Amino acid sequence: MLQKLDPTQISVPQSPFSPGPAPMLTWVPVEKFVVDDSYQREVGRRGRSNVQHIAENFDWSKFAPVIVAPVEGGLYAIVDGQHRTTAAILRGLDQVPCQIVQADRAQQAAAYAAVNGNITKTTPQQLFHARLAAGDKNAQELADVCSAGGVEILRRNLILARMTLGQTQAVGALARCLKEYGRDTLITALQCITETSDGNAGFVRATIVEGLCEALNGSEWRDSGEALLRAMDSFSFPDTWGEISDGRDQIFPATVRRLFAEKVTIHLARASCRYCGPICLLFGEMSHQEGGAASMWCIAQAARRSGRPPNTNPKGRAGLGQIHRASSWPGNQPDHRQSSRPCPKPSPAD
């Protein structure tokens, strides 16, 4: 959407207006450029990498006019634009567009400091949306994953307390997880947050998403669908976050990620049927209780195989076994552990 500039929300300047001589816009041959090392930075390793990137992707639509000031000998000192001018030279260009300002050395140094210091930092979210608008395939893939996971990448920073369901600023972590774990794992991790409990507003955070991806990657839970979401309904993101951060003045993100992955793994292990795995949450008539009690169907099958009466309260845990008689379960059903099919539901007549 196109919008006009709106300065009405900004205070009118109170200082005297003295902008100096008006600049001139023109093309200047590259052999006339010099760099004053009394205020200009040296092109170091990062600078060389930046120049290489500009040169490899050179495009006039991305090339702002170089700010220069005339010096003795008919030359021009570069105030701003050393990197992009060097990239233009690498591309074999013999002249570049310039904004020529009248300034002595002190004014040049002040201009250099102002141009490179008074910069409104662009957030990673803003860069993501810019790349998405430009048709970048990686940005589009991440946008598709977020849509499937019920997540919205905000355009501006927002405090956690004001975030609504699915909103996040963790675009860097999402991109890393997509690259490291793949589309399916990331979507599943996001759904574990946005489609469980009350939607967990404000908890699509970098370390939480990374921890979930780590816990789900390579686990049978990742592809268990509704079973996973039902298991995660009883997982409290606020409580777990509090347990990890409580009493710590400082904690490294890598530590939070590891601890969160461990807690998710433990929670899912307790929710998983030791006979069938997570699939019983979907296809067993009786779901597991919190604490990991196996479904009655699985207990009955184990009893049939062993020839012993079923333990309806394994490991002393309170489970659904307490409200059903074992005799009501059939003893002649197929052994679903030996089949790739999900656990069959007992018929109502049973």
In terms of domains, do 319 and 236 share one?
no
Does some domain include residue 152?
Answer: yes
Does some domain include residue 281?
Answer: no
* pLDDT at residue 306, rounded to an integer: 52
* pLDDT at residue 19, rounded to an integer: 87
Alpha-carbon dihedral 210, 216, 217, 218, rounded to 10 degrees: 160
Helices (H), 73-232: 82-90, 105-117, 124-133, 137-148, 171-181, 183-194, 206-216, 226-232
Does some domain include residue 48?
Answer: yes
Length of the chain: 350
* pLDDT at residue 349, rounded to an integer: 44
Low-confidence ranges of the chain (pLDDT < 70): 119-120, 247, 273-350
Contact 301, 272 (CB under 8 A): no
Contact 115, 103 (CB under 8 A): no
Helices (H), the chain: 45-56, 82-90, 105-117, 124-133, 137-148, 171-181, 183-194, 206-216, 226-232, 237-245, 253-271, 280-283, 296-306
Domain end position, chosen among 240, 271, 302: 271
Does some domain include residue 39?
Answer: yes
In terms of domains, do 155 and 198 share one?
yes
Number of Cβ within 10 Å of residue 305's Cβ equals 12
Residue with tokens 């997570």: 278
In terms of domains, do 152 and 263 share one?
yes
The pTM assigned to this predicted structure is: 0.62
For residues 158 and 161, give the distance between their C-alpha atoms in angstroms, rounded to a whole number: 8
In terms of domains, do 96 and 137 share one?
no
Does some domain include residue 214?
Answer: yes
In terms of domains, do 147 and 246 share one?
yes
* pLDDT at residue 319, rounded to an integer: 31
| 219-228 as b/e: b if 16+ CB within 10 A | bebbebeebb
In terms of domains, do 84 and 136 share one?
no
What's the structural domain count of the chain?
Answer: 3
Q: In what order do the strands lie in the sheet with 95-100?
A: 24-29, 95-100, 66-71, 75-80, 33-34
In terms of domains, do 88 and 130 share one?
no
In terms of domains, do 138 and 155 share one?
yes
In terms of domains, do 148 and 253 share one?
yes
What's the domain range around 313? 294-338
CA-closest candidate to residue 340, choices 298, 293, 279, 287: 279
Does some domain include residue 249?
Answer: yes
pLDDT digits (tens, 9 = 90+) for 129-141: 988 988 899 999 9
Task: Tell me the two tokens of residue 131.
Answer: 């790349």
* pLDDT at residue 134, rounded to an integer: 82
